[in-house]
Structure 1
């Protein structure tokens, strides 16, 4: 019996640490994000601690709610999907949304499974039209 209780507790603990997202529309995800950018991914990402760091070329900024400087040459994500990390592929263009975090003493862009990662083979700058967030109030996440 004690073994069964231990198994149930370990299972519940394991499930509670997995990534989970609130089910929202793409429009709401876009409008709630701290940023929405078009980037080209320049590498396969490198792991540093709990983060995977991708070098990027910023092609366009569609939305930004940040004060102060932000490193626009990199984007961070968690190292695995259980921690809401995503895999970006080198050479592709992405529309990414996410939030700003202070990592290693600098303001960084961070994206994850609960955000938008829309991939394109070619630069979509000429045809991509971002959602209109005017007049729509979605409180942003707290930026730390």
Structure 2
């Protein structure tokens, strides 16, 4: 009985220890763009505030290149996990980003989320005039 308890305890500790961010290894950059819920250009306005397991950034939405949802989206905030083990990303205040991400399906008000498995291209300048979004079918 003691042996089974120790084995179960070791399995639980191993599962806890091994939980980390994993992305689909076969996704090309093109697939990351095309499979995301949105492709946007934003300027990050703050360093992010940790709230409820997420880091929440205030953003200025400059352009929407593609979105699977229109209306009802809070475009003033961007959410990501608080650390890289949970696929969170760190964005820098004052920089422009081309971002892809997803809208969580279980939240009543649509939120913009991104993470390590999505695209985050950083720019010092506003790239809107030179950026050409990828074509998706």
- Normalised by the length of structure 1, the TM-score is 0.83
Structure 1 vs Structure 2 CA RMSD: 2.1
Q: Is the 8 A contact 1:38 1:61 kept in 2?
A: yes
Select 1:21's aligned residue among 20, 23, 28.
23
Kindly report which structure 2 residues correspond to 1:94-109, keeping only aligned pairs within 5 A, or say none. Answer: 94-101=97-104, 105-109=108-112
Give the whole-Å Cα distance in 2 for the aligned partners of 1:11 and 1:121.
42
Kindly report which structure 2 residues correspond to 1:30-109, keeping only aligned pairs within 5 A, or say none. Answer: 30-101=33-104, 105-109=108-112
Give the whole-Å Cα distance in 2 for the aligned partners of 1:52 and 1:69.
21
The gaps in structure 1 that reach 5 residues or longer are 135-144
**Residue-pair matches, total:** 133
Q: Is the 8 A contact 1:102 1:108 kept in 2?
A: no
Distance 1:27 1:104, change over 3 A: closer
**Which structure would you say has the larger Rg?**
2
The Cα of 1:9 is off from its aligned counterpart by 5.2
Give the whole-Å Cα distance in 2 for the aligned partners of 1:13 and 1:34.
30
Give the whole-Å Cα distance in 2 for the aligned partners of 1:107 and 1:33.
15
Deviating beyond 3 angstroms after TM superposition, the runs of 4 or more aligned structure 1 residues are 4-9, 102-105
The Cα of 1:106 is off from its aligned counterpart by 1.5
SS of the aligned residue for 2:56 comes to: strand
The Cα of 1:101 is off from its aligned counterpart by 1.9
Distance 1:54 1:102, change over 3 A: farther
